[in-house]
Amino acid sequence: MANRATRLKGVTVEEIAKTSLAGAGIHKISLPDGTRVVAIANTLWPMHDRNMHEQIMKFLADYQPDLVVLLGHMVNNEAFQALFESEKNYLQRPDHPVEVKAAMAAGSFDDQVQYLRREASKYIGSFAVGKAKVVYIPAILTEHKLVKRVSQEKERRDNFVDNHPEAADQPSDPYRKIPTEFRDFLYLNSNPRVKVLPYNSALLANDHTLFMIGDFKRRNEGDAVLVEWQQRHYQAIIRSLDGKLASGWFTTTEHTQPTMTVQQFQVHEIGFLWDEVENDQLRDYDRRAQGFFAGLYVDGELFGSTVDILRGDDDRRSFFAPNNKMYTEDKPGNMPHGTDVSLADETVTDDDDWVLPNGDDDEGEDEAKAESKAKPESKTKPAAKKPAPARGKKVTKKTPAKGKK
């Protein structure tokens, strides 16, 4: 007989949206000489690395880039899902960020989502420092999932209200709609300095520099973007997704007549900028190195490199930027959780085990015991109970012998 562990269970499989780069689109932009460009990805606001964000904003204010490209995974879908989903499957869950707490206290479900949408819009808009134009390429695995999950929850709550108009607890207002277009979802339609491209699309600068979100990972740093170059053969590729930080330059032979002529190529992988403690559900494989990309166009060519974020002897992190300035956080951030362990005895605490009543029979026994304690003891001796017949034996009624009463 099948038990609970082997019994057939219903399983719901969620389909993950996918697209090709050709289908999502390669959007072109022309950048004149002297254009300064910065590429950032994998921040996962509001679980982002706040210390490094502060230093990067100082760098942007000093560097004054003309273009800031955001290559996906900038807004964490789990921040929005925290408004309506259980997080019991998380092994360690730190306290919610201040933005999520404020959203939870904003009122109804529609008000909560609206508050978080506006805060996320402010975060994305903050990268438009000075004269910078922001081009935002949202990712399918985070930004698209974010809109999808919120829309599904909104639809579920609205259906409940339609089917239970008399319910005192109205989980949402069916007359309030949530946009499904990502640009409108984050109120970026009202920001003239932010351009939102389709999910997992790409930006092609000067017909030779491709800014894109990756679709696959490789174990070693730089391998994934190198394979990307082998497939696409652009002169330069700046790629996110892998969580690793790498820059590579190499040459290939174009021809050897009358003399050897070579072509120069460069590939760059952008690391992560999220908070490792806040996003502990992500594997260590996804968190290889922190950093971003910065470069300058001269004579139509891109000169740039990834910027490493390194931790010093005092645990504070710093990065040396292309403007020849060092940026260092005030206090060590993104430090791992942990406690001091000793060989001393551990603190002994009382057990807090307790048992629930096991069915109606147990409840009846508890009530009977309570009643017996409440009643005074009877002076008469109760009648002895007849022994129960043994199992498997037939019990027959005895008759007296003849002549005997």
Residue 121's CB is within 10 A of a number of other CB atoms, namely 19
Using only C-alpha atoms, the chain has a radius of gyration, in whole angstroms, of: 33
Q: Which residue has the tokens 């204010």?
A: 61
DSSP of 330-382:
SS--SPPP-----SSPPPP----------HHHHHHHHHHHHHHHHSPPPSSPP
Query: Model pTM?
Result: 0.81
CA 367 to chain centre: 50
**Exposed/middle/buried for 386, CB within 10 Å: 0-12, 13-18, 19+?**
exposed
Averaged pLDDT in 10-residue chunks for the chain of 405 residues: 53 76 95 97 96 97 98 95 77 81 94 97 97 97 95 92 79 91 97 97 97 92 93 94 92 89 93 88 75 95 95 96 96 88 92 70 52 52 53 50 50
Which domains does the chain possess? 32-328 (3.60.21.10)
Tokens of 233: 């053969």
Q: Which amino acid, one-letter code, is at 218?
A: R
Nearest Cα residue to 214 out of 24, 68, 44, 67: 24
Task: Supply the pLDDT for residue 388.
Answer: 52
Q: Are 291 and 41 in contact (CB under 8 A)?
A: no
Instruction: Write the pLDDT tens digit of every residue in 269-293.
Output: 999 999 988 887 777 766 679 999 9
Three-class DSSP category at 269: strand
